[in-house]
Structure 1
Amino acid sequence: MLIFIAFLYFCLACSAIWLVVFPSGREFVAQIISGHWARVDQRLASLHHAGVREAAELRHGMGRMLARKLRFVRRHAISLSAGFVAILIPMAVVLMVGKPESLPGYESAELAPDPTVVALLAGENLAPPAALPPMAFTTREVELVRPMLVDASRNWGLLHPDFHQRLLLAFKIMKEKHGYEMALLEGYRSPGRQNLLASIGTQVTNARAFQSWHQYGLAADCAFWRDGKLIISEKDPWAMRGYRLYGEVAESLGLTWGGRWTMMDFGHAELRVKGVMRR
């Protein structure tokens, strides 16, 4: 894709240079426009008189025009070659050594180093929190917001090790820095359960089996634990503030936060690993 874009850019840039620098370029465009209408008139005349002489003359005229353009290219070969090199070298450098952040439209996501993140990268091994009582996932509020949650997997051992530690670090930062105690609602999700949830409707999920990072242990849905019960609803201002803080923390740890999606999923975070997802 990048090669195609670079080639397209090169063609457009060469055309612009030709039109601006060389008068013959502008003449060429004018000839094309006038030639187009001339060909139309000739074609109509050909159809009207049903003759072949006009068609032969048209082909001969087009051949002459093509020959003139080839002569122009040969005469200005050095200038065109210099323009090619001037345009191609910067693009080649960007494609070979540039990072996505260096391209237009990207903003740097670099943040000031957090001591806790540094500790994680140095090898700190965080332990999962204690499991919540099963009854916490069967309340009326939970069922209204997240149906069938009682059957979800909350086994931390089924999560990808890297994602497992990043998510635990997010939990730790949320509690120590912001005062929110996090709870895992669902981590690994089997292909069968993914298809079952997808069959309920897009308000639950629009991803089928192996189209979600849950099947690879690289995604988790989380909420908050307050006063002995789960707080999931986004209508709760306290919870909504927590979700936004959670999104900031998750992104600072290299995770993708569902709160930025068109179909917003504030409690969702995932770690996208190249070569894992099968499309």
Structure 2
Amino acid sequence: MLVVSLSLLFLFVCVGGWLLLFPAGRDALAGVAWPRCRAVLRKRQAWLLAGGALLLVMPAMLALVASRRLALPAFEADGHAVNVQVADLLKGEQLVPPPSLPPLAFTTVEVMRVRPLLAGASRSWQLLNPDFEQRLLLVFRIMKERHGYDMALLEGYRSPERQDLLASAGASVSNARAFQSYHQFGLAADCAFLRDGILVISEKDPWAMRGYRLYGEAAEAAGLTWGGRWTMMDFGHTELRLPGARQRKR
């Protein structure tokens, strides 16, 4: 429907421009059509005025209908439902973030090889949306109590400047610019596993890959979106997609 409307608008604009810019065209049209249509036009003058008004407002109407906030494919809405038992748990106690890891834990050889820009990341739980924080902490508890995985927050809130920095490093790092990511609104986090006190991020580690699959299941049960289902898979990423959240800039 939109394509048809735009095509008609284009046709009307072309004809109108031709009549406006070329007097010969107007004379030719008048010579052919005017003798026959003069009587009809007198009766339908009101309709012509209404049609002209509609032609004037049509571009604005089409722009309004066609307009929508652009988003990357990875950020389209999904239909994962919250697990009933998880929803009940979210109504209960307020979970507390785990103790912070020392900065050196994020600068090991393995971590720097997989996430070379991680040293400048924010790992403050206080900068996360409270609802998202509680859901993520519940996922951490499930991973620990049911599956035996200790987890750590690699990055939570991300400034728009840092988001652009990561995007400039290439699509293998991030394909989202500033305010195209839920990180800018405290609604996304990148997480990894702790094994014997050491961060394990690599997807080549079978133990970590098993953990990522369990992590994705737990995250989706908590109503979060898991990056492991995206085309550019991001196994450690989860986000909470609140309606209209990315329209509110910090």
TM bin (shorter chain): 0.5 to 0.7
Counterpart residue number, 1:172: 141
Distance in 1 (CA, whole Å) between partners of 2:206 and 2:121 is 26
1:211–1:278 CA contact under 8 A, matched in 2: no
After superposition, what is the alpha-carbon deviation per residue over 1:62-83, rounded to whole angstroms, capped at 9, x for unaligned? xxxxxxxxxxxxxxxxxxxxxx
The offset of 1:110, in angstroms, is: 5.2
Matched residues, percent identical? 69
Distance in 2 (CA, whole Å) between partners of 1:235 and 1:193 is 27
- Larger RCO, structure (CA 8 Å, separation 6 or more): 2
Change (3 A) 1:139 1:113: same
Counterpart residue number, 1:258: 227
The offset of 1:112, in angstroms, is: 5.9
SS in 1 for 2:189: strand
Distance in 2 (CA, whole Å) between partners of 1:164 and 1:111 is 15
Counterpart residue number, 2:113: 144
Q: Which runs of 5+ in 1 are unaligned?
A: 6-106
The offset of 1:117, in angstroms, is: 4.0
2:83–2:223 CA contact under 8 A, matched in 1: no
The offset of 1:171, in angstroms, is: 0.2
After superposition, what is the alpha-carbon deviation per residue over 1:18-64, rounded to whole angstroms, capped at 9, x for unaligned? xxxxxxxxxxxxxxxxxxxxxxxxxxxxxxxxxxxxxxxxxxxxxxx
Counting only pairs closer than 5 Å after superposition, residues 114-193 of structure 1 correspond to structure 2 as 114=85, 117-121=87-91, 123-193=92-162
2:83–2:222 CA contact under 8 A, matched in 1: no
Counterpart residue number, 2:239: 270
The offset of 1:111, in angstroms, is: 7.1
Counterpart residue number, 2:216: 247
Change (3 A) 1:178 1:275: same
Change (3 A) 1:261 1:110: closer
Q: Which has the larger radius of gyration?
A: 1
Counterpart residue number, 2:166: 197
Counterpart residue number, 1:232: 201
Amino acid at match of 2:215: Y
Q: Do structure 1's residue 113 and structure 2's residue 87 form an aligned pair?
A: no
Amino acid at match of 1:113: V
After superposition, what is the alpha-carbon deviation per residue over 1:100-158, rounded to whole angstroms, capped at 9, x for unaligned? xxxxxxx98557632x541222x310000000111000011001101111110000000
Distance in 2 (CA, whole Å) between partners of 1:153 and 1:109 is 28
Change (3 A) 1:113 1:270: same
After superposition, what is the alpha-carbon deviation per residue over 1:231-274, rounded to whole angstroms, capped at 9, x for unaligned? 00000000000000000000001100000000000000000011
Change (3 A) 1:112 1:138: closer
1:257–1:270 CA contact under 8 A, matched in 2: yes
Counting only pairs closer than 5 Å after superposition, residues 38-117 of structure 1 correspond to structure 2 as 113-114=84-85, 117=87
2:156–2:186 CA contact under 8 A, matched in 1: yes
May I ask how many residue pairs the two structures share in their alignment?
173
2:82–2:222 CA contact under 8 A, matched in 1: no
TM-score after normalising by structure 2: 0.66
1:117–1:169 CA contact under 8 A, matched in 2: no
TM-score after normalising by structure 1: 0.59
Counterpart residue number, 1:213: 182
SS in 2 for 1:277: helix
2:82–2:223 CA contact under 8 A, matched in 1: no
Change (3 A) 1:211 1:133: same
* RMSD, aligned α-carbons: 2.0
Which stretches of structure 1, 4 residues or more, deviate above 6 A after TM superposition? none
